[in-house]
Amino acid sequence: MKERLQALQQEALNKVEEATTLDELQTIRVSYLGKKGPITEVLRGMGKLSPEERPVIGELANKVREVIANQLDHKKADLEAQALEKKLETEKIDVTLPGRPVSVGGAHLLTSIVEEIEDLFIGMGFEVREGPEVETDYYNFEALNLPKDHPARDMQDSFYITEELLMRTHTSPVQARTMNEYKGNKPVKMICPGKVYRRDTDDATHSHQFTQVEGLYVDKDVRMSDLKGVLNQFAKQFFGEEREIRLRPSFFPFTEPSVEMDISCKVCHGKGCSVCKQTGWIEILGGGMVHPRVLEMAGYDPSVYSGFAFGMGPERIAMLKYGVDDIRHFYTNDVRFLKQYHKA
Ligand SMILES: [Zn+2]
């Protein structure tokens, strides 16, 4: 019996040595160590042995099992390592392939223009204020000297939610709201950027929704020359030191006197060309001295306080600064257009 076990061990070890695949190893494992294997069979026959022999043979059988099992594990690890080696040799990663491009986002052109305007005016001591886009008739019109029957309302037809509630047609109500909040006894120096709405038919220069930045400065002794100084500063910083400005008389119900500001044409420097329609000037924004009635309605005494206000369209500013030819480019979100203005 002892010889039989030793012979089995040698036989099994030889087979393990010769095995070349993991499957073969598994077959050897089952046939020698399984319940129907020869070693189990030997152990079954132990009943025939003398009591002295039994523990000796039992121990030997267990030892044989252990030796075979160890050798199987050993070989298995070897074969697995070989397989990995082979895999590493055959499967190569080609690191010369170009990587997938990572697309980086950036601020929308209008957002960066508005932020640029904000920075400039903050530098001149203005604070940035915001207000609701759904506005009352009172703040949108009446508080700005546009009573219900005023003909100038026709220029600013809006989208009405109720008789008294509408989508604001300009950001001026934020000025009225701020003056009310300051209760007529402290200076106001603010700009209000934001979205506004008008019932316009969309074309290359009109949109039913667009952006405005308006400014207001109310204090004692604010003069027209202050307005001119601030606007001149804006024009030069935004469009270039060499640009000249001029003010032309205009009309707005909430300012008196009212002006339109032009800057000298960048292309012809005032001589006249197709860009400026041969005038040498390009219209940029409107403004004026705050109408005494507007001050009064907001609780400021017009005999003590005076002020100026102005308003501009960031779309127009961006179109002039970057030569954008259609206002709709700002809203259709064509990445090919937007990407050109992403700052690195
Ligand atoms: Zn020109």
How far, in Å, is the centroid of ligand 1 from the Cα of 281?
7
Nearest in space to 46 (alpha carbons), one of 37, 57, 38:
57
Instruction: Let me know whether 84 and 137 are in one domain.
Output: no
Cα 64 to ligand 1 centroid, rounded to whole Å: 103
What pLDDT is attached to residue 95?
Answer: 82
From residue 28, how far is each of 63, 65, 84 by CA, in Å? 17, 12, 22
Q: Ligand 1 centroid vs 278 CA: distance in angstroms?
A: 6
Q: Tell me the per-residue pLDDT of 38-51, one tens digit each, with 9 for 90 and over.
A: 888 877 777 788 88
Answer whether residue 29 is part of any domain.
yes
Residues 64 and 179 in one domain: no
Distance between Cα 274 and ligand 1 center (Å): 6
Task: Please give the Cα distance from 217 to 210 (Å, whole number).
Answer: 24
Task: Say yes or no: 13 and 144 in one domain.
Answer: no
Q: Do the domain assignments include residue 174? A: yes
| Alpha carbon of 205 to ligand 1 centroid (Å) | 19
Boundary-marking domain end, from 61, 90, 119: 90
Mean of the pLDDT values across residues 301-325?
93
Distance 264 CA to ligand 1 centre (A): 8
Whether 17 maps to a domain, the answer reads yes
Contact 166, 140 (CB under 8 A): yes
**Residue 191 main-chain phi, psi, to 5 deg:** -125, 150
Query: Is 222 in the same domain as 122?
Result: yes
Residues 296 and 330 in one domain: yes
Distance in Å, CA 159 to ligand 1 centroid: 37
pLDDT for 34:
83
Cα–ligand 1 centroid distance for 243 (angstroms): 12
Query: Are β-strands 209-220 and 245-252 bridged in parallel, bridged antiparallel, or unpaired?
Result: unpaired
What average pLDDT score do residues 194-207 get? 89
Ligand 1 center–CA 272 separation, angstroms: 4
Instruction: Give me the number of domains the chain comprises.
Output: 2
Looking at residue 249, its pLDDT comes to 97
pLDDT for the residue 344: 47
Average model confidence (pLDDT) for the chain? Answer: 90
The pLDDT of residue 67 is above 80:
yes
User: What would the pLDDT profile of 116-156 be if each residue is shown by its tens digit?
Assistant: 999 999 999 999 999 999 999 999 998 888 888 888 888 77
Q: Of 300 and 50, which is predicted with more confidence?
A: 300
Query: What's the 282 CA to ligand 1 centre distance in angstroms?
Result: 8
Segment 103-121 shows an average pLDDT of 92
Average pLDDT over residues 263-269: 88
Q: pTM, whole model, 2 decimals?
A: 0.68
How far apart are alpha carbons 280 and 79 in whole angstroms? 86
Res 224: pLDDT:
96
Considering the domain architecture, whether residues 134 and 248 belong to the same structural domain is answered as yes
Contact 273, 267 (CB under 8 A): yes
Residues 129 and 241 in one domain: yes
The mean pLDDT value for 57-82 works out to 89
Q: Check whether residue 205 and residue 76 sit in a common domain.
A: no
Rounded to whole angstroms, the Cα distance separating 191 from 5 reads 99
- Out of 7-11, 85-89, 166-170, the most confident range is 166-170
Q: Which domain covers residue 34, as residue numbers?
A: 2-90
Q: How many angstroms is it from 284 CA to the middle of ligand 1?
A: 14
Query: What's the CA-to-centroid distance between 267 and ligand 1, angstroms?
Result: 5
Of the listed ranges 93-97, 211-215, 293-297, the one predicted with least confidence: 93-97
Same domain, 332 and 276: yes
